[in-house]
Structure 1
Amino acid sequence: MQPNRIAEDLLAALRFYSRLPVAPKAQGAGAYGPPDLDRIAYAIPLAGAVIGLIGAAMLLIGDAAGFGGDLAAVLAVAAMVLATGAVHEDGLADTADGFGGGRDTAQRLAIMRDSRIGAYGATALGLALLLRVAGLSQLLWAAGPLRAALTLAAAAAASRAAGILLLRALPPARADGASAGVGQPSPAAAAACALVAALVVIVVLVPSYGVGAAFAGLIAPLLALFVMVRLSQRMIGGQTGDVAGATQQVAEIAFLLGVLMFARNA
């Protein structure tokens, strides 16, 4: 694959997954529309790594400034939230509200589409932010700033692959909406996405912590994906863009906690 093609697909993934000022190569009515997942699926973990590196840079800056692990971790997570426009966090909150407050599939989908946030969504969002910050802070203490920063980038890559694999595993729960507009990636595209994410995880974690941590970094997002697939299938009979965003959040937390178990002994 040509470098120009990889760069174009990476930029397309960043346009879709972030608020970074990445202009499309060609202007037009569809320039900012849904991407072709079959084309760019392999680049989505790379886009996640770029977003993770933004958080990693803030983590290193906060640590170098002497802010301490907790504040450095807050800055890192805040930078990633700002870079993405909180799109994944919004999906997590909507999913928690729908799954927690709806009595049947139709009501759950209606609640998820409501822009207002309820008790389930606020609680899930607060807990997710706390877990990300606390996990990253502990990783900074256990592994040091550089390894913690690289781990954050790998977590961002692997967790976004989990979101794509969810879209592949389940059909859209409704005919309209974000996930229906994007469509399901083909088996080959989903496999390419998973392979690139796995390579990022292995390249980052094996030299930093060893094989055990790399295994945890591969398995933890898959376990999160499995739970979210089963839950979404039972609750709404398929997937939505909100559930994909929630899956990314859960997978990122699982990744950080999984690696943290090995970081203390590395």
Structure 2
Amino acid sequence: MPPFTFDEAQIAAWVAPIFWPFLRILAVFTSAPVLSSRSVPIRVRIGLSFLVAVAIAPILPSAPVYGLNDPSAVAIATQQVVVGLAIGFVVRLLFGVMELAGEIIGFQMGLNFAAFFDPAMNSQSSAVARMFTQLTALLFVVLNGHVLVLGAVANSFAYIPVGVDFLPRLQGLEIYKLGAELFASAFWIALPVVGVLMFTNMALGVISRVAPQMNIFAIGFPITLVVGMLAIALVLPDMLDPFNILMGKLVAMFGA
């Protein structure tokens, strides 16, 4: 019986359909929210990326086989990492919108003085921004946002296949225009609370003119804080609609 042998081309044919999706998925898990948190060990990200790559490999479009020692292998690996980081960045913008809305509300409430270091975002944030970020993470998981992201990763192989010139196609997505969408959406979400707080400040200004003997600085901050908390409690149930709209816009860029 002849010995079982295999050559380099066969190894590349077996490994390539899983290895290239694995790199793209790992880049997504490294940059996308929730799984990119420091609380998630690196081994867990690598293991999940491999399992997802094995699961979606049969449905991915066929791609040219590149050997791992081929001179173009580095370029192909760079392509997968850049595309994966782009998908993760687009999803992270959704959390950035909610965090910016919380920062705007916290600034109007006077809570930005209580900013603290957020290890999840690796930056300082106010209490309101941290609360909005945690609620966004909860909505992201409950509303199957992670499933939509995986669908976007799988569909990205049809839009940006392995081995093609990916820079023109990434440029066609116009990801840079999402910056304007970030600010517009954040102000849209924060507008009801900011409007209530502005009306409260106007009322306090009128009171300070009518009753100058009243120390408006002593009572202004507690009143603004209470009114802001009540306004947030009334607005929070309506956060689901803007979250769904933003998630649909961001994930639809990659055809999910």
TM-score normalised by L of structure 1: 0.30
Question: Greater RCO between the two (CA within 8 Å, min separation 6)?
Answer: 1
TM-score normalised by L of structure 2: 0.30
